[in-house]
Each structure stands twice: as C-alpha cells, then as structure tokens.
Amino acid sequence: MAPEHLHDDRYRPPAVTSIRIAELATVHAPWPEVALLLAQQADIGTLGVWDYLITSAPTPLEGIRDAARYLAAVVDTGTDTLAITEDAGRVTLNHLNRADLAHEAACAVRACALGLYLRQLSAAAQRRLVPLRVSLAAEPPRRHEPLIELYGTRSIEFGAPISSITLRTGDLTAPAPHAQPGLSAVLRRHADHTLATAVPLRDWLDLFRSALASVQAEGTPTLSTVARRMAVSPRTLQRRLDEHGTTWSAEAEAVRREHVSQLLHTTDLGIDAIAARSGYADARALRRAVQRWYGTTPAALRRHGRP
C-alpha cells in the first residue's frame, strides 16, 4: 500500500489483506502474544475517528455505542460485528468474527478486538478498567500471561461461541473526565463523511491483473517482466497466484483474450497486425485461439460484436 493510503482514513484495504497479515504474524509468534502486541500498538488516534468516538463521548458507555454504530470505520462489517448488551449492572461487548482465517490467526484477531475495546474504554475513563469476565472463541493457549496482561484479569474463559468482555455498568456510565459538550455529534458527522467518501482499495489479485495489463499494453508479457513490475521474484509471484487459486498461464491467457477482443472491436487493424500486437506467431495462431475462446473466427467476432 502506498503511504498516502496508509495515512488517510478514506482508504479501505480489503479484508483479505488484514487476514493475511494476521496469518503471517501467527506463524512467527503464539496468538496471545500477537493479540497483545497489536493492541499495544493501537495508541489513541491510531484508528482515526473511531478512537475519538469512544474517548470523547460524555460517558464511556455512550462512546462504545458510537463505536459499535461506526464499526465500519475500522473493520469490514461483513466479517466483524460488535453488539452491546446490558443486564443487572453489567455491560457485555460481544465481538463476532466470521472471517475465514486460519485457527491461530482467528484467535489472535478475536482476542485483540476485545483488548482494543478495553484499552479505548480505559482511555475514556482515564483509569485502567478491569473486566468482570472475558470469554474467547478460542482454545486455551499454552501460555496465558500475554492475555492476563492484555485484559488485567485472570478471569478468562475459552471455547465460547462468541468472544465477549463484561464490565461493570458503573465503570462505563461515570462521566468521562475529558468529555466536551457537542464533540460527539461533530465526530459522528465526521465518521459519516469518512464512510460516505471511503475508497475501497483493491486486493493483491486486482493489483497483479493491473500490472499484467500494463505490461501487455507495452508488448508481450512474461512472468519475469510482471514480477519485476510488482517488485517480487518470479517464484514468489507464482506462489501468490497459486494462493489466489489461479495460474500465470490462465491469467496471461485472459488478458491476451481481452486484448484481442478490444483490438477487433475498437480498431480497423487486420488479423495479421492484431496477431503481431498480441504476441501470436501469425494470423493462423490467432484464429486458433479465437476459435478456442469463442467458437468462432476473428472476422465473425468483429462483425457480431463482443461475445
């Protein structure tokens, strides 16, 4: 991602990017340590307006309600949801993650989410809040110490259907020390504007296809040429394509097919010229390819329009 994308709230990386980062992290460290480290890195302001919705509200409870309403400002709400329940002097934050993650990565993401809520609520209250109970949709890890440090309690349950953290209602309804009248409304309007102007960023496969198309426009693309364009080795490029369920030959064929179709329908070039511009040895090779793709000839395809 470009630096201007990383430091602008408008840009939204695809969920697959966050998933991949979590999976790579848990290859190198146990998931409780990954969850703790990620939460510790999230100082107030790191997550933009979402942080300030919590810390600037009249009470921490009002702030976390705003955070649930604007959860899309920080995560893909197609995979993550936050629900708040109140009962008998207790407030429970329920975080559900539906993303298709590897087990270790899923545990890290769920544990980190609860840690972030607690960290931001503590910042709003200007004191360390200690939960009554933490429930994680994860199996017990070998070491609990990182989670005890993350939540400030040993009251942690594992194997829950949904990850949740429960706090005293009184801890969340006391006036926030630094609340300013009217600021929450301003922040909500800012969050609305941020979401309305959000720019979804493409995933890795989209970026690869753009690079392949740009190389095709300059000449016949090769694996090594596209790999250089994407600043990776040819071997890494092939491995990433395999991870995305495709191959170099399939992608090269697809971009060549689109290129041939575009030349047939947007230019008056002859078949020999189109073959040369598309990397075919001659017109006969091009005709065989069009027959394989569309079951017809280049001339017929040109007459009848795009398939």
**pLDDT for the residue numbered 256:** 87
How many domains does the structure of the chain reveal? Answer: 2
- Judgement on whether residues 102 and 133 belong to the same structural domain of the protein: yes
Out of 183, 200, 217, a domain closes at 200
**pLDDT for the residue numbered 266:** 84
Sorting pLDDT into bands at 50, 70 and 90, what band is 148? very high
- Judgement on whether residues 74 and 222 belong to the same structural domain of the protein: no
Q: Is the pLDDT of residue 297 over 60?
A: yes
**pLDDT for the residue numbered 12:** 83
In terms of residue numbers, what domain contains 54? 3-200
Looking up tokens 């793709």 gives 293
With b for 16 or more beta-carbon neighbours within 10 A and e for fewer, the 169-190 pattern comes to eebbeeebeebeeeebeebbeb
pLDDT above 70 as % of the chain: 98
- Judgement on whether residues 32 and 174 belong to the same structural domain of the protein: yes
**Comparing 14-18, 211-215, 298-302, which segment has the lowest mean pLDDT?**
14-18
pTM of the entire structure? 0.69
Out of 200, 229, 253, a domain closes at 200
